[in-house]
DNA sequence: TCTGAGCGA
């Protein structure tokens, strides 16, 4: 499994739209659109989890893909920061 | 939410 960073996402897009889009290039395991923890507003980027080969194909195919007039930025994601103690 | 940085609890 590999995590994909997706940036420049139009505010009109939803997790379902992202799953459907990336799903054309492989099996999408999970989709997460990041929102501001204070205001709850969508921050314009998110992450998609796919199989390694599918992720590579999706990155190649969807990087620069124009979604609602905005070119998507798709790259392999860096590992998420560890969950802080609570 | 009505906004534009880009990597998550």
How many domains, chain A? Answer: 1
Mean pLDDT of A31-37: 92
Q: Is the CB of A23 under 7 A from strand B?
A: no
For residue A84, tell me if it sits in a domain.
no
Q: What residues make up the domain containing A57? A: 2-76
In a domain, A81, yes or no: no
**Which SS3 state, helix, strand or coil, does residue A60 take?**
helix
Residue A86, domain member (yes or no) = no
Mean pLDDT along residues A37-48: 91
Sequence-separated (6 or more) residues with CB below 8 Å from residue A77: A2, A3, A4, A5, A47
pLDDT at residue A28 above 80? yes
Q: Is the CB of A69 under 7 A from strand B?
A: no
State chain A's mean pLDDT as an integer: 93
- Give the per-residue pLDDT at A70: 94
Q: Which nucleotides of B are covered by protein (CB under 7 A)?
A: 1-9
pLDDT in tens, A50-67: 999 999 999 999 999 999
Identify how many contiguous H helices and E strands chain A contains and give both numbers. 2, 6
CATH number at A17 reads: 3.30.70.330
Instruction: Name the nucleotide with the smallest C1'–CA separation from A4.
Output: B7
How high is the pLDDT of residue A86? 64
The Å distance, CA of A69 to C1' of B9, is 31
């Amino acid at each position: 499994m590999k995590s994909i960073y997706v940036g420049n996402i139009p505010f009109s897009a939803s997790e379902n739209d992202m799953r459907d889009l990336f799903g054309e290039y492989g099996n999408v395991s999970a989709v997460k659109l990041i929102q501001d923890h204070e205001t709850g507003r969508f921050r314009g980027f998110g992450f998609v989890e796919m199989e390694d080969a599918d992720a590579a194909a999706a990155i190649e195919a969807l990087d620069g893909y124009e979604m609602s007039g905005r070119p998507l930025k798709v790259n392999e994601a860096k590992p998420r920061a560890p969950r802080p103690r609570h």
